[in-house]
A and B are shown apart, each in its own frame.
Chain A
Amino acid sequence: MDLEYTPEQQSFRAEARAFLEAHVPKNLPPLDTPEGFPLHVEWEQLLFDNRWAVVDWPEKYGGRDCSLLEWLIFEEEYYRAGGPQRATQNGIFLLGPTLLKFGSEEQKDRILTKMARAEELWCQGWSEPGAGSDLAALTSRADKVDGGFKLYGAKTWSTRGTFSHKTFGLFRTDPESERHRGLTYFLVDLQAEGIGVRPINKLDGDEGFAEVYLDGVFVPDRDVLGEVGKGWNVAMATTGPERGLTLRSPGRFLAMADRLVALAKDRPDACDDRIRDRVADHWMKAEAFRQLGLWTDRRIAAGEDVGAESSVMKLHWSHLDIDLHETALEILGPDAESEMKNGAWMKSYLFGLANPIWGGTSEIQRNIVAERILGLPRK
């Protein structure tokens, strides 16, 4: 056990900190708004130009070939500096790793750099009106035609769908198939003919969702990711890391816990012992997530299979985030109501309330923990 960062890791941290402290934009309007989105994209481009957009990616796609540990360090620094939400996140954290694993060289060369540079923004197209938690119940289909496929159906709750250029998701290519067989993973251009995009406002009023309609949209063969009919396996690789460290790194919650401590310091009269206990409890749980991240990093390095344990993490931070915000709102009292600017407490509370729903609900995560980690019977 050696809990000191190496001199290289320390200088990596220092370099990230210096860049972020000098450049993180302050007071941006919210990401999911017509005013805020382009400013967030500009910021992504600045990150990319300085090779901070995708530190863990190969150099040829704009990364630094960093280890998971260095990525965790970068994330701590990013949120410590007050960095805004990542406009590129569905691309760089979800599709990107899947492409690196399953994509052809041609696809990687064509897609990854543009994704990282925020030139092409991606949204996810999994959910359908009739298929939420039960994703395998999806009915959108793709019919084989000359040189590609024609796609039909509807995808919904596509985060930032109205601001995105492309989407990725599963379509049924074998009409005889059932459930998770006969599905194919497609990369779809949202500007293509036959696409309709309808914005949907989220709980906080921003235009964060879209419903995407597909009526005979042509997708060329080269935009199939992985094998035709094997889309489920490819998709599971996309949702895997999403549930663990990578989409919500410990750094976020450490920064949030520090903000909460600062709020409690600022408003001692609003903090009785019960509130102070809760502040300490949230801080400890954020710290525990940081330590679990470092522990998991070593387990991965030792070749252990930690796949399903990402559900433990998602359950932990999903609820920590909400509890922490509820304590902040209680400290703020009547002032909480108007905390609606980007990043302010009420605004980010409404954002966090979705944690136990997206990316596999908490009920689904508990099923995964019980069945895949603990080995309890499915039926």
Chain B
Amino acid sequence: MRFGFSEDQKLFQATLAELLTDECHHEALAAAWETDAGWVPGLWEKLAAMGVTGMSVPEEHGGIGLDDTDLVLLLEEAGRAACPEPLAETVAIATPLLAEVGGAHADTWLPKIAGGEARAAIGLERERFVADAAAADLLILQRGDALHAVPASSVKTAARDSVDGARRLYAVEWTPSADTLLADGDTGHALGNRVANRAALAAAAQLVGLGSELIRLTVEYAKGRVQFGQPIGAFQAVKHHIANAYTQLELARPTVYWASNSVAKNTDSIDLDVSTAKALASDAAHACFRAALQCHGAIAYTYEYQAHMWMKRVLVLREAYGSSAWHRRRAARSLIDG
């Protein structure tokens, strides 16, 4: 039993954190809101150069073949930076699926993903709309039990609103075909469940990063902002808001790391572990968001200050791939009825 990360894993995390600090700071993020794709121009190429896009691509397809336990810290960093690129969708969800199915789709897409030439979008049946469907290159789409790999050129998209200004959401019209099919029947069903678990885990990891950054911002602000002749962070009511959110977050954190192993190894407890991680991370990040907003006062309620971009990402990801209510319900079924 060794529940921790290796030095290599931590080093990769630190390297990515550095890149995102330089390239995906809040001004870059604010600028991304104004672009067509909602992405930070040039960032994806830098992620590819660093090897991030090829992390989960098997070696024979030009990647480094790492698994979910290697990815989880990177997704947390992406969350910490509120990074708008489809990193989770491409690296943590689409790539492992393509690698597992193999065949022509894997041969076509995996080298492109490793090289930073293709980004993926994910459309599971439970989610109504598909983020990044217009600008992505490959769409992983679900219909019933079947999963398909659909080139973006063959779908029709209609834009939808999102609360998060970096999210480009679309309703997608598409026709499944033998050419696009990855798997169906029982295999498709099982793979679909695995994709959904991976997606929930990826959202949970980002939520932990988002929550951490909101706590950090709030602590910094509370140390500097003076009212009644003292930093507001010296008021106990303010301290306790932050301490409560932090406590929730620190309990969610290990469940996300734990679930990354369950997903990587496809353990018997995968559903329960992923549901635990997604439910606790969703609730914790939400608590961080509420504490951040309250402890900043009006400034965090505006576009003058960066926190709102993190808050909106929390609002989106906490509902994505199963809300905490959905995951608790799934867990209750397996615990009580199972």
Specify which of B2, B6, B250, B329 is in contact with A273 (CB 8 Å cutoff).
Answer: B329
Q: Does A287 contact B (CB under 8 A)?
A: yes
Alpha-carbon gap, A245 to B138, bound state (A)? 47
Q: Does B244 contact A (CB under 8 A)?
A: yes
Binds B, one of A3-11, A180-188, A336-344: A3-11
Binary contact readout A159-185 vs B (1 if CB under 8 angstroms, 0 otherwise): 000000000000000000000000000
Q: A277-B328, A284-B276, A297-B3 are in contact. Are A377 and B231 (CB under 8 A)?
A: yes
Q: Does A212 contact B (CB under 8 A)?
A: no
Binds A, one of B168-176, B232-240, B298-306: B232-240
Residues of B within 8 A of A375 (CB): 219, 223
Q: A288-B276, A289-B251, A370-B240 are in contact. Are A379 and B230 (CB under 8 A)?
A: yes
A28 CB to nearest B CB, Å: 29
Residues of A within 8 A of B331 (CB): 280, 283-284
Q: Does B279 contact A (CB under 8 A)?
A: yes
Residues of B within 8 A of A143 (CB): none
Q: A284-B279, A292-B254 are in contact. Are A1 and B332 (CB under 8 A)?
A: no
Q: A9-B1, A69-B1 are in contact. Are A376 and B250 (CB under 8 A)?
A: no
Q: Does A371 contact B (CB under 8 A)?
A: yes
Q: Does B69 contact A (CB under 8 A)?
A: yes
Alpha-carbon gap, A265 to B337, bound state (A)? 7
Alpha-carbon gap, A367 to B243, bound state (A)? 8
Contact at B1–A261, with CB atoms within 8 Å? no
Alpha-carbon gap, A276 to B4, bound state (A)? 32
Contact at B2–A287, with CB atoms within 8 Å? no
Residues of B within 8 A of A264 (CB): 336
Q: Does B122 contact A (CB under 8 A)?
A: no
Q: Does A373 contact B (CB under 8 A)?
A: yes
Interface residues of B in 119-149 (CB under 8 A from A): none
Interface residues of A in 273-287 (CB under 8 A from B): 273, 276-277, 279-281, 283-285, 287
Q: Does A104 contact B (CB under 8 A)?
A: no
Contact at A379–B234, with CB atoms within 8 Å? yes
Q: Does A110 contact B (CB under 8 A)?
A: no
A330 CB to nearest B CB, Å: 15
Q: Does A374 contact B (CB under 8 A)?
A: yes
Binary contact readout B230-269 vs A (1 if CB under 8 angstroms, 0 otherwise): 1101101011101110110011111101101100000000
A243 CB to nearest B CB, Å: 13
Question: Of all chain A residues, which has the CB nearest B240?
Answer: A366
Alpha-carbon gap, A280 to B3, bound state (A)? 24
Binary contact readout B204-222 vs A (1 if CB under 8 angstroms, 0 otherwise): 0000000000010001001
Contact at B1–A280, with CB atoms within 8 Å? no
Binary contact readout B86-112 vs A (1 if CB under 8 angstroms, 0 otherwise): 000000000000000000000000000
Q: Does A223 contact B (CB under 8 A)?
A: no
Question: Of all chain A residues, which has the CB nearest B336?
Answer: A264
Question: Of all chain B residues, which has the CB nearest A315?
Answer: B247
Question: Of all chain B residues, which has the CB nearest A264?
Answer: B336
Residues of B within 8 A of A370 (CB): 233, 239-240, 242-243
Q: A280-B335, A288-B280 are in contact. Are A366 and B1 (CB under 8 A)?
A: no
A56 CB to nearest B CB, Å: 16
Contact at B325–A376, with CB atoms within 8 Å? no
Q: Does A294 contact B (CB under 8 A)?
A: yes
Of A4, A271, A273, A315, chain B has the most CB atoms within 10 Å of the CB of A315
Binary contact readout B272-283 vs A (1 if CB under 8 angstroms, 0 otherwise): 000110011000
Residues of B within 8 A of A284 (CB): 255, 275-276, 279-280, 328, 331
Q: Does A316 contact B (CB under 8 A)?
A: yes
Alpha-carbon gap, A271 to B260, bound state (A)? 31
Alpha-carbon gap, A294 to B244, bound state (A)? 22
Binary contact readout A1-40 vs B (1 if CB under 8 angstroms, 0 otherwise): 1111110010000000000000000000000000000000
A-B CB contact pairs (8 Å), 25 listed: A3-B2, A3-B258, A271-B336, A273-B329, A277-B329, A284-B275, A284-B279, A285-B280, A288-B254, A291-B257, A291-B258, A292-B251, A294-B254, A298-B3, A316-B251, A363-B236, A366-B240, A374-B215, A374-B243, A374-B246, A376-B222, A376-B239, A377-B230, A377-B234, A378-B234
Question: Residues of A at under 8 Å CB distance from B?
Answer: 1-6, 9, 69, 261, 264-265, 268, 271, 273, 276-277, 279-281, 283-285, 287-289, 291-292, 294-295, 297-299, 302, 309, 312, 315-316, 363, 365-367, 369-371, 373-379
Shortest beta-carbon contacts, A-B, top 10: A370-B239, A298-B4, A369-B243, A280-B332, A291-B254, A366-B243, A376-B233, A280-B331, A276-B332, A295-B254
